[in-house]
Structures are given as structure tokens and as C-alpha cells.
Amino acid sequence: MRSLFLSAVSSVLLSVKSCFVLLLLILTQQSYAQSAADTFTEEHKRWLKEEFAEKHQAIIPKVAVADMFYGCNVVRKTDPVPYQVSQIITQMDKDLLAEKLAGCLGDETPQSDSALNFGLVGCFSDQLAKLPKQERAEKMELVERAIARLSRDDRKRSFTKCVTEQAIKYIQ
């Protein structure tokens, strides 16, 4: 009985820890973006918005689809090429990318829970890509646990936030 209780407590703690890690990742992104924004003058902020807002909005859909395809392909292995998210975003034609995502998702749509989960995996994989392999694997495991425990609305908000931040580095 005691081991069953300890197992349940351990499971709850892992759940809380996973959600905390995902929240921490999101807050870190917000904190980084806020500290960068604080260093700009109002005039510079206005110029940045005018210069890059259109480009940022234009690349967000491709980044989201790339994240979904990456996550889907990691799990379902429908394409034999082991792509990196950055490679998909910068090198793959958007029409080819759409075809590859459709092929990987099969009967599911990009609005499905699976596609959303794949997108989160892809986005966080890209965010963590520069970490050492072991550390990246540990953090991705925590991300995947958090994804399993979050509501659909929370996952949608997290994906939107992640893709919006991620797209900034791909503006050309």
C-alpha cells in the first residue's frame, strides 16, 4: 500500500514538474523578449515593427507547418530523411512541405490534437537544438510529459507563443 501511495505521489510530482518546466520555458522566452524590448528606444521599436511585422506574419504559417511535419516525421517516420526544423524552414518549398505534412498526418488534419502535439515537439526541439544532446533529450522528455498533461487550449496557446517567438529567428 505504501509503495502504491509513493508511486502516486511520484506521478503527481512528475506531472507538476513537467508543467512547471513547460511554463518555465515559456516564461524564459517572454523574459528574453522583454529584456530585448526594454533596450530599444520607442523610435527603434516603431521601426522594427514597420520593417519586420509583415515578414514575421508571413513566415509564421510555414514555421508552424514545419514544426508539425518535423514532430510527425520523428514519430511516424514517413520520410526517410532525418530533417532538422531549421532545415525544413529555410530550405524546403512551402508546397512540398504541405504535401509532406499531409502525407505524414494521413487522415488527420493540421487542426487535430496529434498535429498540435507534433507542432509543440517540433517547436521546442528547435528552441532546444543548441543544447548538448543529453540535456536536450532530458528537456524534451519533460516537454513531452507536459504536453500530455496540458489541456488543448493550453497547448494551442503554448504552440502559438512558441511559433511566434521561433519565427523571429527565420525572418530574412
108: left (phi over 0), alpha (psi -120 to 50) or beta: beta
| Per-residue pLDDT at 86 | 96
Grid cell of 114 as nine digits: 496529434
For residue 50, what are the domain limits?
2-168
Q: Which residue, among 166, 168, 143, has the nearest Cα to 135 in the 3D structure?
A: 143
Other C-beta atoms closer than 10 Å to the C-beta of 165 total 17
| Per-residue pLDDT at 23 | 43
Q: Which residue, among 158, 167, 29, has the nearest Cα to 89 in the 3D structure?
A: 167
| Per-residue pLDDT at 77 | 96
| Per-residue pLDDT at 39 | 58
- What is the per-residue pLDDT across 105-132, written as a single tens digit (0 to 9) for each? 999 999 999 999 999 999 999 999 999 9
| Per-residue pLDDT at 31 | 41
State whether residue 97 is helix, strand or coil.
Answer: helix
DSSP structure string for 23-83: HHHHHHHHHHHHHHHHTS-HHHHHHHHHHHHHHHHHHHHHHHHHHHHHHHHHHH--SSS--
Q: Is the dihedral of CA 90, 95, 101, 103 positive or negative?
A: negative
Instruction: Answer whether 17's CB lies under 8 Å from 134's CB.
Output: no
Q: Domain tally for the chain?
A: 1
- What's the rounded Cα separation, in Å, for the pair 77 and 74? 6
- Taking only the tens of pLDDT, the chain with its 172 residues reads 333 333 333 333 333 334 434 444 454 454 444 444 455 678 876 787 778 888 889 999 999 999 999 999 999 999 999 999 999 999 999 999 999 999 999 999 999 999 999 999 999 999 999 999 999 999 999 999 999 999 999 999 999 999 999 998 898 7
Grid cell of 152 as nine digits: 488543448
Rg, Å, the chain Cα set? 18
| Per-residue pLDDT at 84 | 96
| Per-residue pLDDT at 50 | 79
